Amino acid sequence: MAATNIEVWQQATVIETEDVATNIRRIVLAPALPKRAEPGSHLDLFVTIDGERHKRSYSVVDSTEDGSRVAISVLKAPLSRGGSIFMHTLQPGDALEITQPLQNFPLRIGAPRYVLLAGGIGLTAIVNMARVLKNLGANYTLVYAARTRERMAYLPELRALHGENLQVHIDDEGTALSVPDLVGSVDPSSELYMCGPIRLMDAVRRAWTERELPAPNLRFETFGNSGWYDPEEFIVRVPRLVVEARVPAGRSMLEALEDAGVEMMFDCRKGECGLCEVKVLALEGAIDHRDVFYSEREQHAAEKMCCCVSRAVTSPTGLAANAARGGPAIVTIGVS
């Protein structure tokens, strides 16, 4: 299906809200300029945090054929910068500014076999694809993994619709997903689509490369919101501009630099395009790379980082050297 990414902004009205799992709310919108949502598409919208407007992206979970009702699902993240909290306050009748559906995770029709992998709230990017493949009579498996059953949205509906094609893995119930087993079961003609925590997607990417499976057959969506370590406050310094800024746990380094008046380049703000790259000149601590732009080797080198999503942390374990030093991590960067 063709990718369409012309941003058309419009008003939408909230027409339904419903909790579909612990801290996950389904929100149904009626857009003023309805447009059909292809599988894998998302909406950008503006949330209000402390009186300021910020852009966020949410996958379209389902929609009517004509796009007059579009559903998204929002996880209230414990370390949210405020966007998901705002979304959970919405009530029927509230207005939102949203785009028409945008597409950067298209489903290619015609593969002999599909594996759809959803980790936690990543299901929202996958669920519509699974429905389309079911309707097409395609050969597919939907793999849905999470830590606990309470955090799994739409589970009864998925069981009813996908039956044997659904595989569920729940850490707390001793049925955690084995990435090597999953990737080991994939043959070179299969396509794997995934969305979930960065750890899960990194593990799949590594296993995929090790098995020398075709790179174009692995497709993923990321909203750049999960890392290897819990976010913590750190300091960013830009010597050339004589700027030093604190980056609180709830804000990105890109936002902190913008707040400090630094003119930054960016596009996706999701760790995908690399446009916000900064050079790392010095580092007290470690980098928690949260992008999908760099290779593993580049991430390991810690010479540059995507400042829209990646962060500095006191140490890879969150404990040792810098914690003993007592201060936050400090990253000194060069911006072009």
Q: Interface residues with ligand FES (CB under 6 A)?
A: 266-269, 271-276, 291, 293, 306, 308
Q: Least distance to ligand FES from the beta carbon of 52, Å?
A: 19
**Close Cβ partners of 58 (under 8 Å, ≥ 6 residues apart):** 42, 43, 45, 72, 73, 74, 87, 124
DSSP of 210-249, one letter per residue? HTT--GGGEEE---S---SS----EEEEEGGGTEEEEE-T
Residue with tokens 């746990």: 249
Measured from the CB atom, the residue of 49 and 273 that comes closer to ligand FES is 273
Q: Least distance to ligand FES from the beta carbon of 299, Å?
A: 13
Measured from the CB atom, the residue of 133 and 287 that comes closer to ligand FES is 287
Measured from the CB atom, the residue of 80 and 104 that comes closer to ligand FES is 104
Which candidate, 81, 10, 59, places its Cα nearest to that of 253? 81
Q: Least distance to ligand FES from the beta carbon of 195, Å?
A: 17
Tokens of 219: 């497709």
Q: Least distance to ligand FES from the beta carbon of 292, Å?
A: 9
Q: Least distance to ligand FES from the beta carbon of 96, Å?
A: 23
Distance CA 223, CA 243 (A): 28
Instruction: Give the count of beta carbons closer than 10 Å to the beta carbon of residue 104.
Output: 15
Measured from the CB atom, the residue of 57 and 217 that comes closer to ligand FES is 57
Q: Least distance to ligand FES from the beta carbon of 262, Å?
A: 14
Measured from the CB atom, the residue of 213 and 306 that comes closer to ligand FES is 306
Q: Interior CA angle at 333 toward 332 and 336, to 5°?
A: 160
Measured from the CB atom, the residue of 111 and 201 that comes closer to ligand FES is 201
Which candidate, 77, 71, 39, places its Cα nearest to that of 58? 71
Distance CA 241, CA 226 (A): 30
